[in-house]
Structure 1
């Protein structure tokens, strides 16, 4: 089976915002406690953060992390996480039916973010709270000195403001599971007024308004239309969330879900443009796809905790999906979609970063290791910075229930002008056949192959564990050569490939 791809140097989709390789940490499960923070761990630094996890996060090169939620934020009192740790209250978290010690708050998270080298994307509570608390939180985080909240921050040990620019106005406010769920009109009004107040403090802030928490919501996409009608003039992004599952065990349908996500993006983009035209606006709203991942492996085992059958445990092991090779292939396809949609998607956050549906897993007082999905995310984050190229692709297709006709080869390409590199991210979705991929590169000069790394396995259900942390890892691909600006590579069935070329 042959697939032909043509890339032209001057055919560009968009400059990629590096924040499409962002992630997310919520106060839930073991994401924070025994995830990033475990003072008793042998590797813990002086602040109590696990150095082994810090090293893995640095390897991912995550540019921004969204915090502190997620569903958690909709009943969160941010003031609980400031001041002396010994004096902080323990609260019952209604979102995940657990107790929250508040040993990690904004100060600790900001120190961790600085250590790993990522920016912060903060969320305010528009569920149980509102405008005043959002304004106070912003003042605490960003005002230099001379006001009540900024001076309290300084008393608590942080002399300089953190200067956080990107803020989420609540979380999934359309969801019946959300503390303080609102109708589109109710939410649109409070979001607009909160945005106005935050912009009165700092006009340069980037504000993210809640879109639908899934394309399967009964209010989608009318929710987006109504919310944007209220907020278009005062926000910069609208959020999308989507999680992916394979309960039916059908690999072809599973790997086609990236196209379902692209339709979700396209529908929201059309809604943005409709409201923009309706308002005769020049301003463009973009998409923040700030929750996405595979999530279905752990749902049954989580039910007892989430239903309250085990009381209010602190940092229980929930949503700890163990990812396999099949999941890594879908994650690679989803990242390709973000690259191809980088003209409208400017922020995306893999949910989450550690232990909770995450690329990094830990044992309490034990090891940390990379899950299978770590590898395609890491390669895209490190090498997907630059210009997304618009490719001409001629690939045979197969039929999938959720997406119609699906190309067997899923591919994205990023040109980094500074490094003079072309970075190709490729998935062969075919379950049994190898594919010969022939790529031609126009307007490029003297290309040579720098890297070829692959990920695949005869056992799609194979995964990594603390005992076998490198059962699935990247391996060196076949040696490749370019002749007359043309590259040919053989893609094994159900395989992932990263190829780097250099001018």
Structure 2
């Protein structure tokens, strides 16, 4: 079986915004406590942050991290997380039926972000709260001094403002599971008023309005249209969320979900254009895909806590999906889709970063390690920066419930600023290798400088604390360039990254 790809140097999609490789940390389960923060851990720094987790995050080169939620933010009082730790209140978190110590708040999170080299993307509570709390939070975080809230920040130990530019206007406000759920009109008006108030403080802020929680919501895509009709001139992005599950153990159909993702993006991009035309606007609004990942492995295990049968535990294990090799392929497909849609998807956040549906896992007092999905995320984040190439792919296809024609070979291509080409390739075929030829039109002097291959005979193979490298990339050696043609063999159910230096 064969496939062909044309990569012409004159045909590109868009400059990729590096923030498309962002991440997310919510006060949920062990994401914060025992995830990034464990003061008694042998590797903990003076702020109580785990050094082994810091090292794994640094390797990912994460550009931005969304915080503090997620569902958690819709009943969160940001003031609870500032000031002397011993004076902070313990609160009940309705979203995840747990208790919140508030030992970590904006100051601690900001220090951690500085340590790992990432920027903050903060969410304001538009569920149980509104405009006033949002503007106060903004003043606390970004004003230099001489006002009530900024002076309180200084009193709490931070003289210089945090200067956060990215702000989410609530979270999943269309969802009945959300504290303070609203219909599209109600939320659109509140988000517009909040955005206007925040822009009165700083016109250069980048604001993100809530889109649909997933493409199966009854209100989708009318939600996007109505919300944008209220907010279009006040915001920069509309958020989308989508999680991917293989509940019926049908791998071909599971991997076909990438086609549903692409349709979701296309539909919302078209809705943005419709509202822009209706409003006769010259502004552009883009997509912030600020929650995405595989999520289904832990659902049954989580039920007792989420239904309230365990009381109100602090930082219990929740949403701790143990990812397998099959999930490597799905995450690779998602990231390829974002690269190909880089003209409209400018920011994205894998949900989440540590322990909670995450590429990094920890044991309390013990090791931290990379889950299987760490690797495609790592390769895309580190080597997927630059300009997305407009590839012409000719691949055999198969039918799924998501698309009649789902290509076996999925490819995204990027040209870095130094000219290097990087191709990310997934073979969705269950049993056949596919010889793939990439015609490098207009590129000269091509030399393969790296090939990383991920395969495994067991789709359900996982990494654990004791077997941390059971699923890991290996160096490939069969990618060749003859003339202007790059040839690479894609084993069945495989993920690869191939990098090519050109003149």
Under a length normalisation based on structure 2, what TM-score does the superposition of the two structures give?
A: 0.99
- Alignment match, 2:404: 404
Q: Deviations over 1:275-306 (max 9, x none)?
A: 10100111111000000000000000100000
Structure 2 counterpart of 1:153:
153
Find the counterpart in structure 1 of residue 448 from structure 2: 449
Match for residue 19 of structure 1?
19
Q: After superposition, what is the alpha-carbon deviation per residue over 1:15-70, rounded to whole angstroms, capped at 9, x for unaligned?
A: 00000000000000000000000000000000000000000000111100000000
SS in 2 for 1:400: coil
Question: What is the match of residue 458 of structure 2?
Answer: 459
Residue-by-residue CA offset, 1:81-128 (whole Å, 9 max, x unaligned) = 000111100000000000000000000000000000001100000000
Taking the aligned partners of 1:410 and 1:95, their CA distance within structure 2 comes to: 37
Q: 2:230 corresponds to which residue?
A: 230
Please say if residues 480 and 488 of structure 2, whose CA atoms lie closer than 8 Å, have aligned partners that are also in contact: no
**Is structure 2 residue 422 aligned with structure 1 residue 423?**
yes
My pick for the range that moved more, 102-111 or 401-410, is: 401-410
Deviation per residue, 1:356-391 (Å, 9 max, x gap)? 000000001111000000000000000000000000
> How much does 1:478 deviate?
2.1
Tell me the distance in 2 between the aligned counterparts of 1:300 and 1:222: 32
Distance in 2, matches of 1:286 and 1:199, equals: 18
Shift, 1:477, TM fit = 1.0
Q: Does 1:248 align with 2:238?
A: no
Match of 2:489 in 1: 490
> For the residues of structure 1 that align with 2:41 and 2:237, how far apart are their CA atoms?
39
In structure 1, the residue matched to 2:431 is 432
- Correspondence 1:473 to 2:472: yes
**How much has 1:403 moved relative to structure 2?**
2.0
TM-fit CA distance, 1:480: 2.7
Which SS does the other structure have where 1:46 is aligned? coil
Match of 2:170 in 1: 170
Which moves more between the two structures, 112-121 or 399-408? 399-408
Could you tell me which residue of structure 1 aligns to residue 303 of structure 2? 303
Q: Kindly state the Cα deviation for residue 264 of structure 1 after the two structures are TM-superposed.
A: 0.4
Note the C-alpha offset of 1:402: 1.6
Aligned to 2:414: 414
Q: What residue in structure 2 maps to residue 347 of structure 1?
A: 347
> How far has the Cα of 1:483 moved from its partner?
1.2
Alpha-carbon separation, structure 1, partners of 2:107 and 2:291: 24
CA distance in 1, matches of 2:500, 2:119: 30
SS at structure 1 position matched to 2:172:
coil
Partner of 1:211: 211
Note the 1:330-345 alignment, pairs <5 A.
Answer: 330-345=330-345
Is contact 2:388–2:415 with CA below 8 Å preserved after alignment?
Answer: yes
Q: Tell me the equivalent position of 1:196.
A: 196
Residues in 2 aligned to 1:341 and 1:281: alpha-carbon distance in whole angstroms:
22
SS in 1 for 2:59: helix
Q: How many residues align?
A: 502
Matches within 5 A, 1:8-157: 8-157=8-157
Aligned partners of 2:478 and 2:489 also within 8 Å = no
Deviation at 1:444, TM superposition (A): 1.1
Cα distance between partner residues in 2 of 1:496 and 1:478: 14
CA drift at 1:485? 1.4
Q: For 2:484 and 2:59, locate their aligned partners in 1 and report how far apart those are by CA, in whole Å.
A: 32
Q: Secondary structure at the match of 2:9?
A: strand
Tell which deviates more after alignment, 92-101 or 398-407: 398-407
- d(CA) in 2 for partners of 1:454 and 1:390? 23
**SS, match of residue 167 in structure 1:** strand
CA apart distance, 1:481: 2.5
- Deviation of 1:456 after TM superposition, in Å, equals 1.1
TM-score between the two structures when normalised by the length of structure 1: 0.99
In structure 2, distance between residues paired with 1:478 and 1:251: 28
- Distance in 2 (alpha carbons) for counterparts of 1:439 and 1:237: 34
- What is the alpha-carbon distance in structure 2 between the residues aligned to residue 428 and residue 483 of structure 1? 22
Q: Secondary structure at the match of 1:334?
A: helix
3-state SS, counterpart of residue 10 of structure 1: coil
Contact 2:422 2:497 in 1 (8 A): yes
Looking at structure 1, the residues matched to 275 and 178 of structure 2 have their Cα atoms a distance apart, in angstroms, of 26
- Partners of 1:469 and 1:190 in 2: how far apart? 47
Task: Give, in whole Å, the separation in 2 of the partners of 1:23 and 1:36.
Answer: 13
Identify the residue that residue 391 of structure 1 maps to in structure 2: 391
| Distance (whole Å) between structure 2 residues aligned to residue 173 and residue 68 of structure 1 | 16
* Distance in 2, Cα, partners of 1:437 & 1:78: 52
Q: Residue 332 of structure 2 contacts residue 376 of structure 2 at CA under 8 Å; is this kept in 1?
A: yes
What are the Cα deviations for residues 437-456 of structure 1, in whole angstroms up to 9, with x where unaligned?
00111111201000000111
Q: Residues of 2 paired with 1:141 and 1:349: CA distance?
A: 22
CA distance in 2, matches of 1:59, 1:256: 30
Structure 1 Cα separation of the partners of residues 115 and 198 of structure 2: 28
> Is the partner of 2:69 in helix, strand or coil?
coil
Structure 2 distance, partners of 1:135, 1:303, is 36
How big is each residue's C-alpha offset from its partner over 1:123-142, in whole Å with a ceiling of 9 and x where there is no partner?
00000000000000000000
- For the residue of structure 1 that corresponds to 2:304, the secondary structure is helix
